[in-house]
Structure 1
Amino acid sequence: MSAHAAIAVTSKGVIETIEVPTEEPQDDEIYVKVEYTAVIPPEVYMVDRGMFIESYPYILGFTTAGTVMKVGNNVENFKPNDRVTTYAYGPSHNKGMQQYVNQSSSVCAKIPDSLSLEAAATIPDNFVCAFYTLFNQLSLPMPSSFPASVDPPLADTPILIYGAGTTAGQYMIRLLHLAHYKNIIVTASTMHHEYLRSLGATHAFDYRSFTLIEDLNRAVGGPNKLSVAVDCISAINTMVNIKDVLSPTGTVALLMPVKEGISLNVDEGKNMILDLPLPAKLNPFEKETNIIGVRTFFYQADPVLKEKLMPVILPDLLEKGLIGATPYRVLDQGNLQQRAEQALGLHRTNQVHGEKIIVKIH
């Protein structure tokens, strides 16, 4: 059996280049030559703390972009030479930081010729997270097409995206705008405000501002008037700020895990909460507040999303130019392991702001 190179966590704190078997696709899989993959914050937790890893070695990479080489016997909507991007959230052998990978066709999307492979690698994980959060976890009505042909029932209701400079937050703004929501309030660094407004944000506030709570309350119509919020950071300070503007009976969606610290970075001595309920000492919300813990890896429990989100909805949005890549940085110098180490280091040292880190594979 032939083999190919992959970047894997081989023990706590250690990544190495390993050789893995090159296997034929199963009936419902496509076999992809991987050109690019994204490195995301949870991979730092995986490497440094061993989180989410059941056994070593464990391959990294939660997205891929590349070219279809072969398809399984039951695959009808993909063919060799198709350019695709995939959400590589499955087990180790399906991860993206390897030269070749087999993926279920349900996590794959064709991309238009106008979109580069490196740009396509930025999209799947945060697009899926945003779509799943809004239209499944928060139960906002999913339009039958994009842009929506009619306004949703709560089109004018204020919706807060806290940490909207994150790539997941950027896709949430765009999707809400395409669904005809008209009061999209966001927090982010001021450097991102103009871009976020171009995506559809109606109000943008600096999360560092001393008047943040006052500004947010004014935007939503008064104290405790906000009924829907998403926390893209899910740290102690972000939850406290949301609590100060959210109605006691409102709904907040937390992108898991919840961090005990005050940022996306997690020190060894700090805890991460992987599931609800929140421990009392970390929960600032009122007892009546509806708290949702969003775990994107479960999105395929929704049969409609499993069947359509990646194979149908995303390609349609890309072809129409309604969804595109978020800002990104490509790492293409040195060998593959050096590029992976560099990507992880950028996340560890908080040098990633509103962009995706993309690693060239081939």
Structure 2
Amino acid sequence: MTTHSAVAATSKGAFDVIQVPTPVPEGDEVLIKVEYGAMIAFDTYVTDRGYMVNEFPMTLGFSASGTIDQVGPNVHDFKKGDRVTAFTYSDNGREGLKSRFKALQEYTIQSRKKVAKIPDSLSLAEAATIPDNFVTAFYTIFSQLGLPIPSSFPATTPPPLASTPILIYGAGSTAGVYAVQLLHLAGYRRIIATASKKHHDYLRELGAHDTFDYNSPTLVEDVAKAAGGDGKLLLALDCITAEGTLAILGKMLSPLGKVALLLPIKQGNTVTNGLEQEMYFELPDEKNPFPKGTEVILVRTFLYIEDERMSELMPKILPDLLQHGYIKPARVRLMDSSFGSLKERVGAGLALLRENKISGEKVVVKMVD
């Protein structure tokens, strides 16, 4: 049996480089030789807590880039050698995580529906930053919040709610960066972004109309002034989704509004608050800070593929956006050989994520030297 190296959580609180079987693609699958794998805070949950892990070892990483190595018999739009990026999670989102699909390994197998070709102008390291957060932003905006998908990007005609203020809370996150870009491309002109001050110029460059420091003591009043009217928002997206951010948004939303929360909901104020941090996938009434009537949408990105409108998101929509330069990748924080062995690179990346030392960047691990 052919095997390859993978970086996996081996038990609660431990990870290592292990050998795993190299699969052969079937049906509409492709086998990708991984050059770079990206990590997110969720990888610390898996490693440190065994969060949502049914069985160890569990390979890490939710986005990968590299080249096509083999294609299944039903695949006709990819070929060996194509440069690609992929959203690396179980093809059936309801089954949760499965190691054979994950990013931090020498080879990953994927359905063609989760893979996008990338232009020569885009580096593989940059490409690894895109899939998970791009898909999250697109799915949240155009499926969960219910805004119409434009017939083309950029939109040729303004959408019905083009002048409606839309808040992206935590817009300096990679999901927030893509949300701002997509809303701007879709024709929305009153995008309100909250982020650290250091991200404000960049977010305005991407299309944000107003930017505010989410640490400001006058944030609620500032956003209300920018929103105009009665000062209450009809549309918002929380890219952090912690109890502290929900409490702030609760003061901003209209009873007639919608707010999308990127799950899981975290205890405290940030995406990582230590091993004792509680996380949950529902919003109990006693923890709901929103006005009565506000529609609270709990976003489970792994289910995006169940929306038929999303089936060509990676194979067709993303490549077109990248080819025309309409979507800019997140900034790369590269973990390469200067950090040591493959295990040491991943350990350094986990530490950055665990300690909240990443903002406006994506941790990317170079898998091969």
Q: Give the match for residue 25 of structure 2.
A: 25
Per the alignment, residue 303 of structure 1 pairs with: 308
- The counterpart of 1:157, out of the listed 155, 161, 164, is 164
* Aligned twin of 1:216: 223
| Counterparts of 1:146 and 1:301, CA distance in 2 | 23
What corresponds to 1:80 in structure 2?
Answer: 80
The residue aligned with 2:89 is 89
Residue 291 of structure 1 pairs with residue 305 of structure 2: no
Cα separation, 2, equivalents of 1:279 and 1:299: 24
2:154 is equivalent to residue 147 of structure 1: yes
How many Å separate the matches in 1 of 2:118 and 2:277? 40
Q: Identify which range, 314-323 or 265-274, moves more after superposition.
A: 265-274
In the TM superposition, residue 223 of structure 1 has moved relative to its aligned partner by 4.4
Matched residue type, 1:108: V
- Distance in 2 separating the partners of 1:99 and 1:224: 51
1:339 counterpart = 2:339: no
Distance in 1 between the 2:253 and 2:23 partners? 51
Contact preservation (8 Å) 1:224, 1:244 = no
Provide the C-alpha distance between the structure 2 equivalents of 1:110 and 1:19, rounded to a whole number of angstroms: 28
Q: Aligned partner of 1:320: which letter?
A: H
Query: Could you tell me how far apart the structure 1 residues matched to 2:284 and 2:294 are?
Result: 15
Cα distance in 1 for partners of 2:120, 2:255 equals 48
Alpha-carbon separation, structure 2, partners of 1:313 and 1:206: 32
Query: After TM superposition, where is structure 1 displaced by more than 3 Å over at least 4 residues in a row?
Result: none
Match of 2:175 among 168, 174, 198: 168
SS in 2 for 1:4: strand
Q: Alpha-carbon deviation of 1:287?
A: 2.4
1:268 aligns with 2:272: no
Q: SS at 1:132's partner residue?
A: helix
Whole-angstrom CA distance in 1 between matches of 2:14 and 2:22 = 23
Match in the other structure for 2:128: 121
In structure 1, what is the equivalent of residue 93 of structure 2? none
Once residues 276 and 2 of structure 2 are traced to their aligned partners in structure 1, the CA distance between those partners, rounded to angstroms, is 43
Preserved contact between residue 223 and residue 231 of structure 2 (Cα < 8 Å): no
| Whole-Å separation in 2 of the counterparts to 1:245 and 1:102 | 43
* Native 8 Å contact 1:8 1:58 kept in 2: yes
SS at match of 1:312: helix
Give the Cα–Cα distance (whole angstroms) in 2 for the partners of residues 55 and 223 of structure 1.
51
The offset of 1:52, in angstroms, is 1.6
Is the partner of 1:281 in helix, strand or coil?
A: helix
Structure 1 unaligned segments of length 5 or more: list them.
Answer: none
**Structure-2-length-normalised TM-score:** 0.96
SS at match of 1:73: coil
- Contact kept? 1:223, 1:245, Cα under 8 Å: no
* CA offsets 1:255-291 (integer angstroms, 9 cap, x no match): 10111111111322231112x3x12332111221100
How many angstroms does 1:349 deviate by? 1.1
In 2, Cα distance between the equivalents of 1:21 and 1:264? 33
Do the aligned residues in 2 keep the contact of 1:224 with 1:248 (CA within 8 Å)? no
Structure 2 counterpart of 1:330, from 308, 325, 334: 334
Deviation at 1:222, TM superposition (A): 4.4
Match of 1:9 in 2: 9
3-state DSSP class of the match of 2:75? coil
What is the one-letter code of the residue matched to 1:290? Answer: E
How far apart, CA to CA, are the structure 1 residues paired with 2:24 and 2:217? Answer: 57
Q: How far apart, in 1, do the equivalents of 2:249 and 2:323 lie? A: 36
Q: 2:94 corresponds to which residue? A: none
CA positional deviation for 1:294: 0.5
Measured in 1, the distance between the counterparts of 2:288 and 2:5 equals 44
Cα separation, 2, equivalents of 1:246 and 1:23: 48
Q: Distance in 2 between matches of 1:52 and 1:313?
A: 30
| Residue identity opposite 1:264 in structure 2 | V
Give the superposed CA RMSD.
1.0
